[in-house]
Amino acid sequence: MVTSYRALVAVPGTARSAATRDVFSRAGFDAVAVTSFDDALQALRTWPPDLLATEVRLGDHNGLHLALRAHDLYPELPILVIGSERDGASEAEHFGATFLPLSGGDDTLIETAEALVARRKG
């Protein structure tokens, strides 16, 4: 179990965002959830995380735009982009992020997040 790592969760919809945050919190992350691109950018600037987890579809902008901006702010920040298989992994990897299909489930989400943070902190 991870302890004291900060996860910024950018997922549209208050209920979905809170549920995803709770998955991270139960795994020991200090997690903050936001529901929009603009809120995520603000949080990145004021609360630097150890991990960014975002969905591809994120309102007017998308998680790939957010990954690009986060990478500009923090080049070493692990970024996890979550989406449907048709959203494609290649775009996420182009922005230095790791892609995880929505169908992966909570266990895969946390295992992947822990591995990304451990690799960075390693």
Mean pLDDT, the chain, rounded, equals 90
pTM of the model: 0.93
Whether the per-residue pLDDT at 121 is higher than 80: the answer is no
Q: For residue range 53-101, what is the model confidence (pLDDT) as tens digits? A: 999 988 788 889 999 999 999 999 999 999 876 766 778 888 889 999 9
CATH architecture for segment(s) 6-121: 3-Layer(aba) Sandwich (3.40)
Q: How confident is the model at residue 3 (pLDDT cuts 50, 70, 90)?
A: low
Q: Is residue 37 a contact partner of residue 68, using CB atoms and an 8 Å limit?
A: no
β pairing state of 61-62 and 57-58: antiparallel
Domain range summary for the chain, segments of one domain joined by +: 6-121
Q: Is residue 7 a contact partner of residue 96, using CB atoms and an 8 Å limit?
A: no
What is the percent of the chain with per-residue pLDDT over 90, rounded to a whole number? 71
Q: What is the pLDDT of residue 88?
A: 64
What mean pLDDT is predicted for residues 10-29?
95
Nearest to 88 by CA among 121, 63, 60: 63
